[in-house]
Amino acid sequence: MPKLIIDNKEVEFTQGQTVIEAAKASGIEIPHFCWHPGLSVSGNCRICLVEIEKLPKLAIACSTSATDGMVVHTKSEKVISAQNAVMEFLLINHPLDCPICDEAGECKLQDYAFKYSKGASRFDEEKNHKDKRVSLGPNVMFDQERCISCSRCIRFCDEVAKEPQLTFVQRGEKVTIKTFPGKELDNPYSMNVVEICPVGALTSKHFRFRSRVWDMSFTDSVCPGCSRGCNTIIGVRQNEILRIEPRENQDVNNWWLCDWGRINTIKDISNDKVRMNLPKIKPEEVATSDDKLIEVGWEEAVSKSVSMLTGKKGSVLFLASPFSTLEDNYTLKKFAKEVFNCNELFYLPKLDVEFGDNILRKSDKSPNSKGLEVLGIKPLNDEILKKIHDGKYKALYVINDEIERVPELANLISKFEAKVFHLNKKNTFTWMNADVMFSESCYAEINGTFMNFQGRIQRIRPAVATLEQERLLGEYSLSRLDKFGAHNDRWTKDNRVNARPTWKVLKQIAMAFGKQFKFENSEEVFMEMCRVELGIELDYDKVGSAGYLLKTEKV
C-alpha cells in the first residue's frame, strides 16, 4: 500500500483517499466542520488546513488527495496560525448562546474554540443579528445566527435524501440558509441534518430545551421501525426516552436514520396513559368482551393462564411476533412444542409498500420477521383462518401483537374459549378481548436480539428501567442500573412499569405445567437458540455492537 507521513508518523492509505481520510483511518485528528465522510467535499470551512512539504501554501486536507511519499504537518506554526485565524473569523458573529443551546456539550465549535483558537477576539463592533427560531419544517428548527455556512445540511438533502429543499441565500455576512420557495424541510430523513450540523444552528423540535446532554445516559440499540434494523443510540433522562439518534454501521444504515424511526418508535414507551403496569385478567363473572379487566399480581395471572390452557393440548393457536426478540419467539416455540405438542407457529406480517424506499426504509415494518423465518415460523394464512372458523382451536396465545391488524382474525375472536396475550399497551381491541393480559417489556427495556432482512443478528439493550430490573438488582440501587445497560440518572422519575420479558413469563408458565427450561437470562436463551435452531455457538459478545451476519442455508 502507498504511504504518506503525517506529523512524523508513517500512514498507509488506499488510492483515492484524501489526506483527512487517511489521517482519520490512522487515528490522527484533523479538525473539520464542513467535511463529512458520507457527503461530497465542499471545502468551505478551512479549519482543516495543513502544511504539505513542497507545496507553496497551506492546503485543505478534505480535498487534497494523498500521494505516495507525501509529508504532511498538522501542528506546524503556519497551521496553528491559520487555525487561530479561521476560528476567530467563525466566532466574530457567532452569538454567545451556549447556556441555552441544545448542542452544548456536543458542539464542534465549542471544542475547537478550546483546542484551536486563541481565546480572544479583536472584533469590537456590534455582532450581525439574524433571525432565530425559524421553522424549516415539521421537525427542524433553525437559528440563523449560529450557522457557520458549512453546507452539510444542503448537501445531505441533495445527495442522500434526494430532496433538494435547502439552499444558501444572500452573500457575505448576510448569508443564511432557506428552503426553496413553496417547500419545507419535510423529507423522510430531514432530522439527520440535526446530527450532522456541527453547531447548534439546526435543532430538533421534539428534543429542543428538554435536557442537557450531560444529564442524560446513552444506550446502543436497534430501531424496531422496519426490517432494516438501523443502529441507534437511545438518550434517556429520568427514565424517559428523550431522543433517538443514528449510530454508524456501514453494513446496515451508514450514518443515517429516518424520521419515523426517531419519533414513532418511542411514542408509547414512556406514556403512562398507554403502558400497562401489572397483568390483568377477566373475572369469570364477566361474560362480555369489554374492558372490565382487573389488575392482579404475576402469580395469579400465571395461575389463571395455566387453568385456562389445561386440557387444550393440540388445540392452541400460537401467534409469534415480528416485533419481539429472537429470544422471546424461540421461547414461545419451545413452550408450544414441549408443553402443548404444537410444532407450527404463525405470525401476522406488517407490510406497507408506501413506507419503503431505496435509501433505508423497508416495506416490512417489523424488526424481526427474518428471524421468525429462520425459526420456521410462518405468516398466518387462509387455511388457519378457516380452521379457526371451524372451531379447530380452543385457545389463542399471542405475544406482542395486536390481532386487530388482521380484521379476519379479529372477527373470529369469539371462536376461542381462552385468550392469553402479552402486550405492552392497553385500551386496544386485543387488550379488551383478553382473558389474561401480561404486561410485556418493550424493546428499550430488555436485553435481546433482532435479525434484520440481511440475516444480521443485532443487539438491543435496556435503556430505561422497569420494576422487574430493580427487583433483580437486590441490594443495588436504581442509580447503578448502568451496570446492567440501563440508565444512571441523578434524578429518577418514578415512572417504571411493572413489566417483564416474555421469555421469562413463558418459562414460569411452563414450570407450572411441569416443564423446566434451563436458562436464567436472555443470553442463555440466545445461546440455546443458536445451538438448537442455527447449529452454531454464539453469544452476545460475538454479536458485538456491529452485529453478526448469519451465513446458513436458512438465510
pLDDT band (50, 70, 90) for residue 314: confident
Taking residues 504-518, report their average pLDDT: 95
pLDDT at 553: 59
Q: d(Cα 139, Cα 259) in Å, to the nearest integer?
A: 8
CB 208 within 8 A of CB 102: yes
Q: d(Cα 54, Cα 43) in Å, to the nearest integer?
A: 21
Hey, what's the cell of 513? Answer: 405445567
Q: d(Cα 397, Cα 405) in Å, to the nearest integer?
A: 16
Q: What is the pLDDT of residues 422-433, one digit of tens each?
A: 998 887 888 888
CB neighbours (10 Å) of residue 413?
18
Hey, what's the cell of 398? Answer: 399471542
pTM across the whole model: 0.91
pLDDT at 489: 44
Task: Please calculate the CA angle 122-124-126 and round it to the nearest 5 degrees.
Answer: 135
Where in the chain are the domains?
3-91, 280-549
**Integer angstrom CA distances of residue 513 from 285, 393, 421, 510, 516:** 26, 20, 18, 5, 9
Output the CA torsion 187→190→229→551 (10° steps): 80
Helices 502-512 + 326-340 axis angle, to 10: 10
Q: Which CATH architecture has domain 3-91?
A: Roll (3.10)
* Res. 485: pLDDT tops 60: no
The closest of 256, 143, 235, 174 to 489, measured between CA atoms, is 235
Helices (H) and strands (E) in the chain, counts: 16, 24
Q: d(Cα 362, Cα 226) in Å, to the nearest integer?
A: 6
* Res. 491: pLDDT tops 50: no
Q: d(Cα 530, Cα 326) in Å, to the nearest integer?
A: 10
Taking residues 175-181, report their average pLDDT: 94
pLDDT at 118: 86
| Element (DSSP H or E) covering residue 5 | strand 3-6
* Res. 186: pLDDT tops 50: yes
Q: For domain 280-549, which CATH number applies: 3.30.465.10, 3.40.50.740, 3.30.565.10, 3.40.50.720?
A: 3.40.50.740
* Res. 158: pLDDT tops 60: yes
Q: d(Cα 189, Cα 260) in Å, to the nearest integer?
A: 8
**Integer angstrom CA distances of residue 30 from 3, 110, 112, 162:** 18, 16, 11, 29
Eight-state DSSP code of residue 93? S
| Element (DSSP H or E) covering residue 285 | none
pLDDT at 427: 76
- Across the beta sheet with 217-222, the strand order is 217-222, 231-237, 240-246
The closest of 181, 265, 167, 180 to 463, measured between CA atoms, is 265
pLDDT band (50, 70, 90) for residue 51: very high
